[in-house]
């Protein structure tokens, strides 16, 4: 049934398809045919107070005439409100759980004490959880989402996530576009059934192999959105908040853009590019000059990209594929409508954006191999094991610097995420090299099939129990997670 919704265009190579009926646009030979982007992009409210509540509750939302979501919301908003704070702030956050299911909030990318980090063993089934922590880290685009074991994917998918932005003086000195010239964009794929309901129903192969790959793209919770902009420079903070889908972020007509930041804040230097791979959990901070567009509208797209098949069972991903368009397919995300001149028609960036202070590879106290496998019965494993709530899998010494080697022996991509730390990617095996965002501080790194990716990090967080895991949420929920003490 579901397959009927796809209008596959034959003979133009891989990843060429149209999302239909909800996303009526497509890419042919990397060129985008104009589609209908008729819904205004929602911009979530901001929370600037340092003491506030986040209430998770049920939501019944009519997104468009045809599209309905029986989902979950933070403070009656999908996505949740954007939390915007200053470095050095001390926060008091009361999480209220009214969804009738275990939950706990994790602050993705923040370095907070273990009992503030949203470890799955801290779930509450109702009532409140009090968070208190200080923000002693770099300005950047972080985010928050639930972290209960086995049901993180479902809760995030149904609407529970939001941006967590930290600002500081180093960044303010750059005078980057702000206010209406700074736009947060969370990109998420969803699946729609025949009656127009967004449903969470990963198939068996999706649970075991690919993760849920939906056939409808939402930006800030809205399908087929447009945003009106002036012909000038904008700062876009992009979050891949999808469960499993990877995007190759680009603009129509290969309009270039400048990557200035990623998971852990500003890059050391700006990097100009025309495409940027982003796996679930990753963030990119980019500047784009809309006066460089040829016409009065330009689409943000995901360009087709190749997923290496890794060792072993070739083509397994497609054979046992998911119900949505395959990983690596191309499609449109949203439209920017360009009207009028802008005051902000240029920006002078310094050669150096920020002081990085990455640890030297030679300073590492040890190297830790982290084997990522797919086992016939057990599913996805980390060092051969699946998550157990109380078993400590890796012990590191506070203050130590370590190199972790993520070794992907499976046939599917794994975006690996470590709590309580930011790391620097040292190298990636094979010929893909580093992604522009990987020149900065990261907390999530894409490890493609067959690849080994080495990262270096210094463990400075308060002592206690944290987790690390694959940020493909179906993989995580199926046990591709481990305890880090």
8 A C-beta contact, residue 56 and residue 97: yes
Q: Which does residue 470 touch among ligand C2O, Cu ion, none (CB within 5 to 8 A, set by kind)?
A: Cu ion
Q: Which part of the chain contacts ligand C2O (CB under 6 A), choosing from 17-25, 350-358, 423-431, 466-474?
A: 466-474
Q: Phi-psi category of 193—alpha, beta or left, where left has phi over 0 and alpha has psi -120 to 50?
A: beta
Q: Does 138 bind ligand C2O (CB under 6 A)?
A: no
Q: Which does 414 bind (CB under 5 to 8 A by kind): Cu ion, ligand C2O, none?
A: Cu ion
Binding residue for Cu ion, selected from 141, 210, 472, 478, defined by CB under 5 A:
472
The stretch among 4-12, 132-140, 183-191, 467-475 that binds ligand C2O (CB under 6 A) is 467-475
Smaller CB separation from ligand C2O, 37 or 142: 142
Q: Distance from CA of residue 175 to its chain's centroid?
A: 26
In the complex, what is the shortest distance from the CB of residue 476 to ligand C2O, in angstroms, rounded to a whole number?
7
442 binding ligand C2O? (CB under 6 A): no
The site partner of 119 among Cu ion, ligand C2O, none (C-beta below 5 to 8 Å per kind) is: none
414 belongs to the binding site for ligand C2O (CB under 6 A): no
CB of 422 to Cu ion, least distance (A): 11
The helix (H) or strand (E) run that includes residue 473 is helix 473-477
Contact criterion met (CB below 8 Å) for 136 and 107: no
Ranges within 64-123 binding Cu ion (CB under 5 A): 108
Residue 106 contacts ligand C2O per CB under 6 A: yes
In the list Cu ion, ligand C2O, none, the entry touching 475 (Cβ below 5 to 8 angstroms by class) is Cu ion
Tell me the window of 239-247, 266-274, 309-317, 466-474 that interacts with Cu ion (CB under 5 A): 466-474
Q: Which of 184, 202, 232, 281 binds ligand C2O (CB under 6 A)?
A: 281
Burial of 231 (0-12, 13-18, 19+ CB in 10 A): middle
Minimum gap (Å) between residue 442 Cβ and ligand C2O: 13
For residues 466 and 119, give the distance between their C-alpha atoms in angstroms, rounded to a whole number.
6
Residue 161 DSSP class: -
Establish if 469 lies at the interface with ligand C2O (CB under 6 A): yes
Half-sphere exposure of 193 (CA within 13 A, CB side): 10
Q: Of 414, 428, 442, 469, which one interacts with Cu ion (CB under 5 A)?
A: 414
Half-sphere exposure of 354 (CA within 13 A, CB side): 22
Q: How many other CB atoms sit within 10 Å of the CB of residue 94?
A: 14
Residue 147 interacts with ligand C2O (CB under 6 A)?
yes
Distance CA 15, CA 302 (A): 11
Q: Which helix (H) or strand (E) holds 133?
A: strand 127-134
Query: Cβ contacts of residue 458 below 8 Å, gap of 6+?
Result: 359, 399, 400, 401, 421
Identify the residue among 381, 475, 478, 484 touching Cu ion (CB under 5 A): 475
Q: Tokens 């965002």 belong to which residue?
A: 437
Contact between 141 and 110 under an 8 Å Cβ cutoff? The reply is no
At 123, give phi and psi (nearest 5°): -60, 150
Per CB under 5 A, does 470 bind Cu ion? yes
**Nearest residue to 364 via CA among 440, 442, 458:** 458
Compute the distance between CA of residue 103 and CA of residue 160 in angstroms, rounded to an integer. 10
Q: Rounded to 5 degrees, what are φ and ψ at 181?
A: -95, 5
Separation between Cα atoms, residue 149 and residue 376, nearest integer Å: 21
Nearer to ligand C2O, 303 or 417 (CB): 417
- In the complex, minimum distance from the CB of residue 438 to ligand C2O, in angstroms, rounded to a whole number: 18
Report whether 285 contacts 273 (CB < 8 A).
no
Give which of ligand C2O, Cu ion, none residue 454 binds (C-beta under 5 to 8 Å, depending on kind). none
* Contact status: 146 vs ligand C2O (CB under 6 A): no
| Edge-to-edge strand list for the sheet holding 247-251 | 39-40, 225-231, 331-341, 297-302, 247-251, 276-278
Locate 253 and state its tokens. Answer: 């007509």
The answer to the question of residue 210 lying near Cu ion (CB under 5 A) is no
**Tokens representing 399?**
């203050």
Q: Which of 5, 138, 145, 475 is the binder for ligand C2O (CB under 6 A)?
A: 145
- Binding pattern to Cu ion, positions 415-454, x when CB under 5 A? ----x-----------------------------------
- Cα 151 from Cα 433, distance rounded (Å): 34
Region near ligand C2O per CB under 6 A, out of 28-36, 97-105, 348-356, 465-473: 465-473
Minimum gap (Å) between residue 481 Cβ and Cu ion: 10
User: Contacts with ligand C2O: how many residues (CB under 6 A)?
Assistant: 10
State which of residues 5, 87, 149, 419 lies at the interface with ligand C2O (CB under 6 A). Answer: 419
Query: What part of residues 214-233 is at the interface with ligand C2O (CB under 6 A)?
Result: none
d(CA 234, CA 287) in angstroms, rounded, equals 6
Which one of ligand C2O, Cu ion, none is in contact with 472 (Cβ closer than 5 to 8 A by kind)? Answer: Cu ion
For the CB of residue 207, give the shortest distance to ligand C2O in the complex, in Å.
Answer: 18
Residues that bind Cu ion (CB under 5 A): 108, 414, 419, 470, 472, 475
Residues that bind ligand C2O (CB under 6 A): 106, 108, 145, 147, 281, 417, 419, 467, 469, 471
């Amino acid at each position: 049934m579901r397959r009927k919704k796809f209008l596959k265009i034959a003979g133009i190579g891989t990843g060429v398809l149209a999302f239909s009926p909800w996303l009526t646009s497509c890419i042919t030979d990397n060129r985008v045919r104009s589609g209908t982007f008729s819904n205004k992009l929602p911009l979530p409210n901001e929370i600037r107070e340092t003491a506030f509540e986040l209430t998770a509750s049920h939501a019944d939302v009519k997104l468009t005439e045809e599209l309905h979501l029986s989902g979950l919301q933070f403070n009656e908003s999908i996505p949740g409100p954007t939390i915007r704070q200053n470095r050095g702030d001390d926060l008091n956050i009361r999480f209220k759980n009214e969804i009738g299911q275990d939950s706990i909030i994790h602050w993705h990318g923040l370095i907070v004490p273990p009992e503030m980090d949203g470890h799955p063993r801290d779930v509450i089934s109702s009532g409140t959880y009090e968070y208190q922590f200080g923000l002693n880290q770099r300005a950047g685009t972080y985010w928050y989402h639930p972290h209960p074991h086995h049901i993180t994917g479902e809760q995030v998918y149904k609407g529970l996530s939001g941006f967590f932005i930290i600002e500081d003086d180093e960044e303010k000195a750059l005078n980057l576009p702000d206010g209406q010239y700074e736009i947060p964009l969370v990109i998420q794929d969803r699946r729609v059934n025949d009656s127009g309901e967004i449903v969470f129903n990963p198939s068996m192969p999706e649970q075991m192999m690919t993760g849920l790959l939906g056939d409808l793209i939402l930006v800030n919770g809205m399908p087929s959105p447009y945003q009106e902009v002036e012909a000038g420079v904008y700062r876009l903070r992009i979050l891949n908040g999808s469960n499993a889908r990877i995007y190759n972020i680009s603009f129509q007509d290969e309009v270039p853009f400048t990557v200035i930041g990623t998971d852990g804040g500003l890059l050391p230097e700006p990097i100009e590019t025309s495409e940027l791979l982003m796996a679930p959990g990753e963030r990119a901070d980019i500047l784009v000059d809309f006066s460089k567009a040829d016409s009065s509208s330009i689409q943000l797209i995901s360009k087709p990209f190749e997923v290496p098949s890794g060792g072993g069972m070739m083509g397994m991903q497609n054979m046992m594929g998911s119900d949505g368009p395959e990983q690596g397919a191309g499609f449109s995300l949203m439209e920017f409508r360009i009207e009028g001149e802008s005051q902000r028609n240029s920006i002078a960036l310094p050669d150096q954006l920020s002081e990085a202070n990455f640890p030297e590879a030679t300073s590492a106290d040890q190297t830790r191999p982290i084997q990522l496998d797919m086992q016939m019965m057990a599913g996805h494993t980390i060092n051969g094991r699946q998550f157990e709530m109380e078993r400590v899998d890796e012990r590191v010494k506070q203050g130590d610097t370590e190199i972790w080697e993520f070794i992907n022996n499976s046939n599917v991509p794994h975006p690996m995420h470590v709590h309580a730390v930011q790391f620097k990617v040292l190298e990636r095996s094979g010929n893909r090299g580093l992604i522009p965002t990987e020149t900065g501080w990261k907390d999530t790194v894409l490890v493609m099939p067959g690849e080994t990716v080495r990262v270096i990090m210094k463990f400075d967080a308060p002592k206690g129990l944290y987790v690390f895991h694959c940020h493909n949420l179906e993989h995580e929920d199926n046990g591709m997670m481990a305890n880090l003490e």
